[in-house]
Copies of this chain bind each other. A is one copy, B any other.
Amino acid sequence: MSVTIKDIAKSLGISYSSVSRALNNKPGVSSETRKRVIDEAKKMGYKPNDMARGLVKKQTNTIGVIIPDIANSFFGEVTEGIIETANENGYTVFLCITNWNMEIEKEYLRTLQQKRVDGIILKSSKDQEERRYKDEINVPYILLEGRPAYGNSFVGVNNKRGSYIGTKYLLKQGYRNIAFAGGSKDSYTNMQRVQGYIHALKERAIPIDKELILYNDFTAKGGYILAEELLNNDKNIDAIFAGNDVIALGVLDYATTHDFSIPEELGVLGFDDIFYAELPQIQLTTIHQPKYELGKYALEILIDDIHAGEDRTCKSIILEPKLVVRNTTR
């Protein structure tokens, strides 16, 4: 079928080990033979077979990345950080999208290991499951944005602090009845954000009203539904802290189509600072996460872990979020 190292050897009348050495810039071949080999390889259109190579070298220079949703540009930007850093380090990224589906996530975890990737970066769709993976995954892996470390490396942001800052800001701006429109209740990230929100309220001795804390999906649709629910009771809600920017978008959708004036009548605060938060038509006030850096650090730690081999020690990196004020809060 395709040209192999042996074909080159035969055509040049030398042994194929010499061809291999020539092509890999290994010592042990004269520069003259090396040149002949390289020319012949190009002429014959030789493409090394990474499977054969991987088989003997026991490494693939490939790392697997599993994320729930690429349409959410939060993950898009993180992924960008991962891929660029990977390429700079000579790794290729095998990107897997689970669509928030745990079955698919497990499937990918298996596939990646069968492909013998050198390491895995995982954002699980369900933080609870992560501890189980300890036994199932036997390559270096690192958890992204979820519950820190069950004996594995971790990169994430200080979610609790982020929503604490955000809630404090809303209070400072004079909002009094602040609701929380959360994502999945199963999400550790989400619950951390709720914690920060509660913490800020308690600090000001404001009683926590459980009915103001609702959960749905991390989607615009989820936000729309929660907004509808929150704005149609007698609670006089004057601000909604959304679990993330996508949710906030759904909240804004409901609010603008139902004539709530923003930011006077209703303040809206997001979390993530994805790229359309700053579109002039949207101008969402939000908590900024360093997304590209998240990906970059994840990959860098992973590579450290890979190089360290069996006796790797796990690390956690927690980055600090910050408030970005735009037009959806007064």
Contact = CB atoms under 8 A, between A and B. Distances in A.
Interface of A: 1-2, 45, 47-52, 54-55, 58, 60, 62, 70-71, 73, 76-77, 79-80, 83, 87, 92, 94-95, 97, 104, 110-111, 113-116, 138, 249, 252-253, 256-257, 275-276, 279-282
A250 B116 CA distance: 43
Contact of A110 (B47, B138, B276): B47
A51 B47 contact: no
A1 B276 CA distance: 47
A55 B55 contact: yes
Contacts of A2: 138
Contacts of A276: 276
A166 to B, nearest CB: 21
B58 A1 contact: yes
Assembly stoichiometry (copies): 2
Nearest to A310: B1
Contacts of A116: 49-51
Contacts of A114: 47-50
Contact of A281 (B49, B77, B94, B282): B282
A256 B275 contact: no
A48 B76 CA distance: 31
A71 B80 contact: yes
A257 B45 CA distance: 54
A278 to B, nearest CB: 10
Contacts of A48: 114
Contacts of A110: 47
A93 to B, nearest CB: 8
Nearest to A49: B116
Nearest to A95: B95
B111 A92 contact: yes
A48 B281 CA distance: 52
23 contacts: A48-B114, A49-B114, A49-B116, A50-B115, A51-B51, A51-B60, A51-B115, A55-B55, A70-B70, A70-B79, A71-B77, A71-B80, A71-B275, A80-B97, A92-B111, A94-B94, A95-B95, A252-B281, A253-B280, A253-B281, A256-B280, A257-B280, A279-B281
Nearest to A45: B138
Contacts of A113: 47
Contacts of A257: 280
A257 B280 CA distance: 7
Nearest to A84: B99
Nearest to A61: B111
A309 to B, nearest CB: 11
A92 B115 CA distance: 11
A116 B51 CA distance: 8
A2, A51, A114 interface centre (most CB from chain B within 10 Å): A51
Contacts of A97: 79-80, 83
A94 B97 CA distance: 11
Contacts of A76: 70-71, 76
Contacts of A94: 94-95
Contacts of A79: 70, 97
